[in-house]
Every structure is written in C-alpha cells, then in structure tokens.
Amino acid sequence: MKTQSLSDSQKLAILAFALVVFTCIILAIAMAQQSAPSERSSAAKAENHNINQPRPKAANISSGSIAEAPSDMQKPAKLAQAPVSKVKPQQNVGWEIGNSKSAQPQIALNQVIRDYEVVEVNQHPNSFPQVGETVELPMLHGEKILVNVQELKSNPNGDQSWTGHLQGYDNDYPIIVTYGEHAVFAMITTPKGSYTMESTDGAGWLYKNPSEVELSDTKTQDFLEVPDAHKL
C-alpha cells in the first residue's frame, strides 16, 4: 500500500494553522499575567480602606467611665405608671372584748342569757364609718365579722347611727349601731343567730339573744349575776 505524500500547499496550510494556535496561547498567557496584579492591587486598596476607618471608642474601664453612645441611640422613655386605686382600710370603731380588769357594766342582764362577754366601748369616737367602708366587729369566742357600711344617719335627738350588712351575704344580715350621749346600742344578725351589744359610759355587754322560748319562761329572773372572771 502506497502512502500519499502531502503537497507543498497543504504543508503551508498546516504550518500557518499551527502558528495561529501558538499565537493565541501566547496572548492568553500575557492577559492572565496582566489581570493578576490588578486584582491584588484592588484587594490591597480595600484592606487599606478598612484600616483607615475610625474605630468606635472602647469603654474606659480604668477610669470607670463608658464611652457615650451615638446621639441616634437614645435611652427609652420611662413608661407612665397607672394610678393605683386606694383601698379603704378596715376600721374598728365598735368595741373590744374586755377582761378581768375591765370596768363593771352598770347594765343588768336577763338570767336566760348564757353566752356573753364584757366589752369596752369608745363612747365618743373621733369619726364614724362612711358609706362604702368596711368595719370589723369583734364577736364572742374570739370571732370577728366584717360589715359593709351602707348608711350614716343623724337622729333628731342628736344620736348618730350607722347601718350595714354582713359581708358576703348581700342584704340578708343587717347590723345597726347607735351612739348616744352616754350609751351605745347595737343589733347584729348573723347565720349563727342575733346578738346585742349595749353599754353605758364605755362599759357594756355583748351577748347572744335568747330564743323566744327562753324569754317566755316566767320563772327566770330579769338579771344575771356577773361572773367572778369579770368582777373587779
């Protein structure tokens, strides 16, 4: 098999193509070398720019002072406090349970009264409870009741009265307390029964009212001897 040789024109064409390819490669290498220094220069400029930027002031810990914040960072304004409604305190304008040193009441008790205590009363208090206030009244055996005051009244004879109802029972259990010149009288109704407080010149009795059956006993006396515990 004979090999066909290239003609002179074909050899020249191949040589020309090789020269073009070689030239393109040389140009590409030269362009790459030119672009690399420009990128390094841009990076260096950016780094120098960041270094030249002013840094925020640090806290001066040694002197105990802190650098001031920028003016656009203001402290938040304080919230306005809502007004606090005042709760009316409980008042004790009634009486106190007495003891062996308490003054002897001048009022005689019915013999049928079994449950009672000597009380000390402020005959002339500086003020009386107002409508809407709560009054605390001591009762027998260490118990206490709360009364919601509903009315304050001045009587024609000069006596002062205030009325209310036992707290927690709407209007089911009324209480009335009347102050005179030398005497104080109170009627108290509760789920356990009704009670009376009566005093003269600051000394008196608080007792549970006897039932109608007990009061109808004609053999009983209309007074009760004071127990030894309350004698002077």
Rounded alpha-carbon distances, angstroms, from residue 212 to 86, 113, 119, 216:
45, 12, 25, 6
Q: What is the dihedral of CA 141, 144, 150, 151, to 10 degrees?
A: 50
What pLDDT score was predicted for residue 70? 47
Q: Are residues 105 and 190 in the same domain?
A: yes
Model pTM? 0.54
- The whole-angstrom separation of Cα 89 and Cα 129 is 11
Residue 228 has pLDDT above 50, yes or no: no
Q: Are residues 119 and 36 in the same domain?
A: no
Instruction: Say if CB 202 and CB 222 are below 8 A apart.
Output: no
Q: Are residues 121 and 217 in the same domain?
A: yes
Q: What is the pLDDT of residues 128-182, one digit of tens each?
A: 899 999 999 999 999 999 999 999 999 999 999 999 999 999 999 999 999 999 9
- The residue segments making up the domain with residue 30 are 1-48
Instruction: Say if CB 67 and CB 56 are below 8 A apart.
Output: yes
Q: Are residues 106 and 198 in the same domain?
A: yes
Residue 15: in which H helix or E strand, if any? Answer: helix 8-52
Q: How many domains does the chain have?
A: 2
Tell me the two tokens of residue 52.
């030249």
Q: Is 174 within the bounds of a domain?
A: yes
Q: Is 209 within the bounds of a domain?
A: yes
Q: For residue 74, what pLDDT band results from cuts at 50, 70 and 90?
A: low
Rounded alpha-carbon distances, angstroms, from residue 110 to 93, 113, 121, 216:
27, 6, 21, 12
